[in-house]
Chain A
Amino acid sequence: MAHVVQTRTRAGTIAGGTALLLIAVAIILPAFASRSLIQDLFMILTMLTLAQLWNLLAGSAGLVSIGQQAFVGIGAYAMFAGVILWGWDPVPAILLAGVAAVLLAIPTAFFAFRLQGAYFAIGTWVIAEVTRLLVAQWKALGGGTGTSLPREVTGNIMGVDAIRGLLGVKEAAARDILAYWIALILAVMTIGAIYALMRNRQGLALAAVRDNTDAARSVGVDAGAIKWQVFLLAAFGTGLVGALVYMQKAQISPDAAFDVTDWTALIIFIVVIGGIGTIEGPIVGVIVFYVLQTFFADFGSWYFMTLGLIGICVMLFAPKGLWGLFAARTGIRLFPVQRRLVVGTKQEEP
């Protein structure tokens, strides 16, 4: 019987068009949006990127890491080192952060991949702690108390003057816009790269390894290599985001940059609440997170307690998250990665 295997869906095509339109709007947004909106969107975009990367690890590769703060922290510190010790401009120093994160990810994977499943999770956490303690010994960057970017650096970041000229805004606002645009590029590239990965052979191999490593090996998938690739890729992206966030904050300390709550726990809740294992999930999750943050962040520990309990409830009663509930009801996939067998369609004779 004639059949084709396809991943394309109509909702996916419409979503693709809408996404392009949204990106175009996002690019020109700073021309008329308020500064606080740009700052909020910066936060949303960076959290979204981190969430997509964690989702790639845990949802697609089965690598549940609780140590992603290691890569945020080392990326941020590498950027500070580039700026303060070697006189780089912060923007190119962000790339240095990606390299540093990959360099840290290599020994991390070497150790953590010796641990199975749940123990892998705590193993990555231990390595993040070790990195934090080592960085706290780095006296040139302030040791345990941390340091700030010098004022003459933050005043002269590459591209800020051009943005001031282009949009006629003050320097601080221009810095926010620069950071926002970089965050937008990172988010779009991350989602695009993950989407492309999930739709090609590598993505199929990844899903096979996650679902049954032995079976995947038996059909010729190099399970070890693919886990390494994904882990290094996620570390690279996480390091870039870490550097960007701390370029914006302009001050750093080991306890903040390697904080498990900010850089891993919140990210996990975003992914779990939105829906693990899909590209749509973290997008939904980050929107929910933003709403909760806007209304309840002032409640401090109550807020985190509620997030923890919501995370538990979602995992128990709707393990595929909010997006999973929606997709199961409607069958809509905005970023279709499933291979669907369509039987009975006309197919060209070879």
Chain B
Amino acid sequence: MIWIDTLVQGVLLGGLYALFAAGLSLVFGVMRLVNLAHGDMIVGAAFLILILVTHLGFNPFVAALVAMPLMFGFGWALQRYILNRTLGKDILPPLLVTFGLSVALQNALLEGFSADSRRIPAGPLESASVDLGIVTVGIMPLLTFASAVLVIVMLNQIFYRTALGRAFRATSDDPVTASLMGIKPGNVFAMATGLAMVVVTIAALYLGMRANFDPSIGPARLIYAFEAVIIGGLGSLWGTLAGGIIIGVAQTMGAAINPEWQILAGHIVFLVVLLVRPRGLFPRAVD
């Protein structure tokens, strides 16, 4: 019985990790760029939502809606004016620039908000739960998971049903040919990073409402997101959700055995998957 409960909690936690990972997966899928500052951007967005909630008195969900266009603009400009300059055959520039960004952003947050743990107040939602017969689950984890599924459905719709998605796929396959068809790869990349930042904002909302956060936790979120992407297989968004769930279940199972093993269990499952299925469980992209 306790194991079913642990399993369900793990699956729901996986929803949060899938939200962390979806933005990373999207950007990698479109332009083969790995943003090492991804985790710090999630934390940054959480602080942005926190400001809107505490200083302007917004409801957290409204605050996230307000933060989305701001984060989109940030992502768009970052890609358009900085990261696009680094793309090319050499993998060093994008890695080192985003790594520098990670360190700079982390310390900027530390300077601005101190090292104190914060939380986005969500009122009665924080402790509300629903009895599903066999297990009782929190409303918040349930909402997180539902949002993750919704985000992945929406991203898939954008990818396969819209002109923008067509531009994403065309640029991803062959930027030169795509530009012959009147697509500007630079703009497409900027749209993709902007969209990824919208997903980051959603991830930040749940990160901040579910648990305490502080400026130093970004890199660990990047690592969980990365593990989910690799387990799922590059280029597959549903695979990313599966990867998130696997990490989430491994962590809750590990924590149930010994609280010190929570994080370790997630990493070990990742290494095992890497050992037996180096290209992930549902690979799509060929790299």
Tell me the A residues contacting B by CB distance below 8 Å.
Answer: 58, 62, 64, 66, 111, 114-119, 121-123, 125-127, 129-130, 133-134, 136-137, 260-261, 265, 268-269, 272, 276, 301-302, 304-305, 307-309, 311-312, 315-316, 319
B residues in contact with A122, CB < 8 Å: 34, 36, 222-223, 226
| Interface residues of chain B: helix, strand, loop or mixed (majority) | helix
- A102 CB → nearest B CB, Å: 19
Q: Mark each residue of chain B from 103 to 121: 1 if its CB lies under 8 Å from any CB of chain A, else 0.
A: 1111110110000000000
Report how far A133 CA is from B259 CA in the complex, Å.
12
A residues in contact with B96, CB < 8 Å: 64, 268, 272, 311-312, 315
B residues in contact with A117, CB < 8 Å: 34, 91
A residues in contact with B101, CB < 8 Å: 308, 312
Q: Is B287 an interface residue (CB 8 A)?
A: yes
Q: Which of the segments B184-192, B205-213, B266-274 contacts the partner chain?
A: B266-274
Tell me the B residues contacting A by CB distance below 8 Å.
Answer: 32-34, 36, 82, 85-86, 91-97, 99-108, 110-111, 219-220, 222-223, 226-227, 230, 260, 263-264, 267-268, 270-271, 274-275, 278, 287
Q: Judging by beta carbons under 8 Å apart, are B264 and A268 in contact? A: no
A residues in contact with B267, CB < 8 Å: 126, 129-130, 133
A residues in contact with B36, CB < 8 Å: 66, 121-122
Q: Other than the known A126-B271, A129-B223, A265-B99, what 6 A-B pairs have Cβ atoms closer than 8 Å?
A: A111-B271, A125-B219, A129-B220, A268-B96, A301-B108, A308-B101
Choose among A62, A125, A315 the residue with the greatest number of B CB atoms under 10 Å from its CB.
A315
- B249 CB → nearest A CB, Å: 18
B residues in contact with A58, CB < 8 Å: 92
In the complex formed, the residue of B with least CB distance to A122 is B226
Q: Judging by beta carbons under 8 Å apart, are A308 and B91 in contact? A: no
In the complex formed, the residue of A with least CB distance to B260 is A137
Q: Judging by beta carbons under 8 Å apart, are B34 and A126 in contact? A: no
- A159 CB → nearest B CB, Å: 38
Q: Judging by beta carbons under 8 Å apart, are B260 and A111 in contact? A: no
Report how far A146 CA is from B39 CA in the complex, Å.
28
In the complex formed, the residue of A with least CB distance to B111 is A301
- A300 CB → nearest B CB, Å: 8
Q: Judging by beta carbons under 8 Å apart, are A119 and B111 in contact? A: no
In the complex formed, the residue of A with least CB distance to B115 is A301
Q: Judging by beta carbons under 8 Å apart, are B268 and A130 in contact? A: yes
Q: Judging by beta carbons under 8 Å apart, are B92 and A305 in contact? A: no
Report how far A276 CA is from B278 CA in the complex, Å.
30
Q: Judging by beta carbons under 8 Å apart, are B230 and A119 in contact? A: yes
B residues in contact with A116, CB < 8 Å: 287
In the complex formed, the residue of A with least CB distance to B264 is A133
Known contacts A111-B275, A125-B223, A305-B104; A315/B110 CB under 8 A: no
In the complex formed, the residue of B with least CB distance to A260 is B219
A residues in contact with B85, CB < 8 Å: 316
Known contacts A116-B287, A122-B222; A268/B111 CB under 8 A: no
In order of increasing CB-CB distance, the 9 nearest A-B pairs are: A308-B104, A118-B34, A311-B100, A308-B103, A301-B107, A312-B100, A305-B107, A304-B107, A117-B91
Kindly identify which residue among A64, A134, A136, A316 contacts B97, using a CB–CB cutoff of 8 Å. A316
In the complex formed, the residue of B with least CB distance to A276 is B92
Q: Judging by beta carbons under 8 Å apart, are B92 and A308 in contact? A: no
Report how far A304 CA is from B278 CA in the complex, Å.
36
A residues in contact with B226, CB < 8 Å: 119, 122, 126
